[in-house]
Amino acid sequence: MRKLGISLVLVLAALLLPTQAHAVAGWHVVGSDNARPLDESQGLATVTRGGTTQYRYTGVGTIPADLLTRGWNHVGDPGAAQGWYVEPYQRDDRGGKLYRVQSPSGTWSNYVHALESWEANNNSFAAVSPDAQWMVTGEWGTMDRLLVLPMPGVAATDPSKNLPYASAIRLDHQVRDVQGCDFVTATQLLCSSDDPDGTLFGTTKPLLQVDLTGPAGSADVTGHVTSLGQLPLQSGCSGDFEVEGIDYFEADGTLRVIVMSPGICIGIDSKTYRFQR
């Protein structure tokens, strides 16, 4: 009981500490919000419609029951642009990938992408290009590519047809366990990596910048990858943190990244960090 009491005091003390001035290159922390493990643990996106801004989160608790019963048991980091919003889903078999899309008018549609023979079934994120014509998506593990699909509901408008593979962003440096990406401009992405190893960039859990040779589209482009440094890893518990989704809101220049805490602290001091340049 004494050890448990001391541990609880340490956790509470950590919660009362002010946010440290942790910085990655070009960005600094301006605040943080608690991230709930059930419905704010996978990803986030900012959706603007008719002058109103909504902050959307995903987690195991946000998966619709009809998708869950059909085998779509994992949701990743969502994306948004031009009032469109899209959530990426995966399943345990090679039954493809599903994208749940909401139009600017509020209607929902489900689009399924059949896997290419060489494609991993992981569906970690969906990043919508600023013009909402294309969607970048990613696979788990060590990769040298990001995949580009036509934006469902915009460039592909028939949910009964396969959402086809269009092209790839060919990365000039391998990345590992990318949990989310979002467009900053038409030719720049920021990506959150849950890399636990650290051998690719000299640090674990990095924030990555990907500069494209041209806008994502029907033809392959090259992406130059730069690590901006390690994302904040702050908790009252020690152990393995999990970096999750990412969102960049163009209107105010705010970058947000979810970091889930280790052990029992996942429900106590997991955070969505807010960054500004």
Distance set, CA 200 to CA 47, 176, 214 (Å): 33, 8, 25
How many whole angstroms separate alpha carbon 145 and alpha carbon 126? 14
Tokens for 98?
């599903």
Residue numbers of the domain that contains 225: 2-276
Over 70: is that where the pLDDT of 8 sits? no
The CATH number given to whatever domain includes residue 194 is: 2.115.10
Tokens for 5?
């009491």
Over 90: is that where the pLDDT of 169 sits? yes
Q: In 3D, which of 16, 4, 37 has the Cα closest to residue 261?
A: 37
Q: pLDDT tens digits for 100-149? A: 999 999 999 999 999 999 999 999 999 999 999 999 999 999 999 999 99
Q: Can you list the alpha helix ranges (DSSP code H) found in the chain? A: 2-16, 65-69
DSSP state of 170: E
Q: Which of 15-24, 64-73, 229-238 has the lowest mean pLDDT?
A: 15-24
Over 80: is that where the pLDDT of 221 sits? yes
Task: Name the pLDDT band for 22 (thresholds 50, 70, 90).
Answer: low
Over 80: is that where the pLDDT of 68 sits? yes
How many whole angstroms separate alpha carbon 246 and alpha carbon 37? 16
pLDDT at 259: 98
DSSP state of 77: B
pTM to 2 decimal places: 0.92
Q: How many domains does the chain have?
A: 1
